Amino acid sequence: MDKPKTHRVFFALWPDLETRRAISRHAIPSLENVAGRNVDQHQWHITLAFLGNISEEMLTCVQQQAAQVSVQSFELTLDTVGYWSRPKVVWLGSQNMPDVLKTLVTDLNVALKACGYEPEYKDFKAHMTLIRKVTRRPANIQFMPITWQVEQFVLIESSFASTGSDYRILRQWSEVNK
Ligand code: ATP
Ligand code: MG
Flag the least confident range among 3-7, 21-25, 112-116: 3-7
Mutate to test the pocket of ligand 1, among 153, 165, 166 (most ligand atoms within 8 A of CB): 165
- Of 9, 10, 162, best ligand 1 pocket probe by most atoms within 8 Å of the beta carbon: 10
For the chain, the average pLDDT equals 95
Q: What is the pTM of this model?
A: 0.95
Give the model's confidence band at 120: pLDDT under 50 very low, under 70 low, under 90 confident, else very high. Answer: confident
Least confident of 46-50, 149-153, 163-167: 163-167
**Distance from Cα 20 to the centre of ligand 1, integer Å:** 20
What is the band of 121 on the pLDDT scale with cuts at 50, 70, 90?
confident
Instruction: Give the end-to-end CA distance of the chain in Å, rounded to a whole number.
Output: 39
**For residue 78, how far is the Cα from the chain centroid?**
13
Dump pLDDT digits (tens) for 21-56.
999 999 999 999 999 999 999 999 999 999 999 999
| CATH architecture for the domain at 6-177 | Alpha-Beta Complex (3.90)
pLDDT interval class at 178 (50, 70, 90): low
Residue 10 scores a pLDDT above 90? yes
Query: Is residue 88 within 8 Å of residue 36, measured between CB atoms?
Result: yes
For every residue of 55-66, DSSP letters joined together read EHHHHHHHHHHH
Q: How does DSSP classify residue 23?
A: I
pLDDT at 88 exceeding the cut of 90? yes
Q: Is 8 in the pocket of ligand 1 (CB under 6 A)?
A: yes
